[in-house]
Amino acid sequence: MSKNEEVKKGVIFPIGDENTAYAQYFVGQSYYNALVADPEVAVGVGNVTFEPGCRNNWHIHHDGYQILLVTGGEGWYQEDGKPAQSLKPGDVIVTHDGVKHWHGAAKDSWFEHIAITAGKPEWLEAVAEDLYEGLHQ
């Protein structure tokens, strides 16, 4: 049994559907629930839920930013060239324009965050398996 199994039921908002639109940019299964998807608003807001071990690829937000509000479970965030940060409910991450980064669940825990995103993402390579596994030793 994984830690924080209650997250799969949604902590504040429902987890949404399987994130098939972006599945190619994730290792493992994620779920997405668009909370704000108004074409007249230049910021997207979504509830993203990660199964244990799920994480997104390295990516960069161009002409924008990303704010993560951690609502449940345990996860990781890392900017290129910096150590990974452990995430837990209540943590807030601000990723500035042009910063290469990734985020996702711990290998043994469900994880959920609200993502507030502006700009266009550039999706890059998957997080190296040895880097990810090394976080759990």
Domains of the chain: 1-8+26-57+66-122 (2.60.120.10)
3-state SS string over 77-110? EEECCCCCEEECCCCEEEECCCCCEEEEECCCEC
**Measuring CA to CA, how many Å separate 100 from each of 5, 6, 58, 92, 115?**
30, 31, 6, 17, 16
CA separation for the pair 48, 114 (Å, rounded): 6
For residue range 80-108, what is the model confidence (pLDDT) as tens digits? 999 999 999 999 999 999 999 999 999 99
Q: What is the pLDDT of residue 3?
A: 86
Residue 51 pLDDT > 90: yes
Q: Quick one: pLDDT at residue 8? A: 84
DSSP state, 53? T
pLDDT band at residue 1 using 50, 70 and 90 as cut-offs: low
- d(CA 23, CA 11) in angstroms, rounded, equals 22
Report the alpha-carbon distance of residue 49 to residue 87 in Å, rounded.
14
> Of 68, 81, 55, whose CA–CA distance to 136 is shortest?
55
* pLDDT at residue 23 in the model: 96
Q: What is the mean pLDDT of residues 38-64?
A: 96
The verdict on pTM exceeding 0.85 is: yes
The candidate with the shortest Cα–Cα distance to 87, out of 66, 101, 100, 69, is 69
Using an 8 Å Cβ cutoff, are 42 and 61 in contact? no
Q: How confident is the model at residue 137 (pLDDT cuts 50, 70, 90)?
A: low
